[in-house]
Amino acid sequence: MKPTISMLAAVVSAAALGACSSTPPAEPALAAGAASLEAARSAGAPEYAASELNNARSKLEQARALAQAGKQGEATRMAERADADAQLARARAGSERSLKAVTEVEAGLRSLRDELNRSTPVNPGAAPSASPLQAPRAPQ
């Protein structure tokens, strides 16, 4: 019976070691999360998507702590969540910047329309009046 117990203990130990080594390291996921976080910062997320950026930063810090504690699987999942939050922050920042640009263009168009309406004669059949920028013509 003793050889059977020893053999069972060896198999259990080998399985436990195999399970530990089968969990991939979290470093690639941590690096991807950090890269996405930096891309979000560069895209203007601190100004336009601060909440999403802070969520990503917090999750990445949690992922690093989990990796330090040896919980590679949990660290990888948390780093992937941080990566997703950082990508969301980057997308939201891009969207907000685009909306701001559209608003500015629309304001410029409104201003041009107003200027055009001011310089258009009230009576469409009447002769156009001299522009304030043109000198009056001398009679011939």
pLDDT per residue over 50-89, tens digit each? 999 999 999 999 999 999 999 999 999 999 999 999 999 9
Residues 6+ positions from 24 with CB-CB distance below 8 Å: 72, 76
Q: pLDDT at position 24, please?
A: 87
Which residues are CB-neighbours of 26 under 8 A, at least 6 positions away?
Answer: 63, 66, 67, 72, 73, 75, 76, 79
Q: What is the tens place of the pLDDT at every residue in 89-134?
A: 999 999 999 999 999 999 999 999 988 888 766 565 655 555 555 5
Across 2-11, 35-44, 100-109, least confident range: 2-11
CA–CA dist 127, 72 (Å, integer): 81
pTM score: 0.64
Give the per-residue pLDDT at 95.
Answer: 94
User: Does residue 46 carry a pLDDT above 90?
Assistant: yes
**80 Cβ contact partners less than 8 Å away, ≥ 6 residues apart:** 29, 32, 33
Please tell me the predicted confidence (pLDDT) of residue 52: 96
Q: Is 5 left (phi over 0), alpha (psi -120 to 50) or beta?
A: alpha
Q: Is the pLDDT of residue 10 over 90?
A: no
pLDDT of residue 1: 42
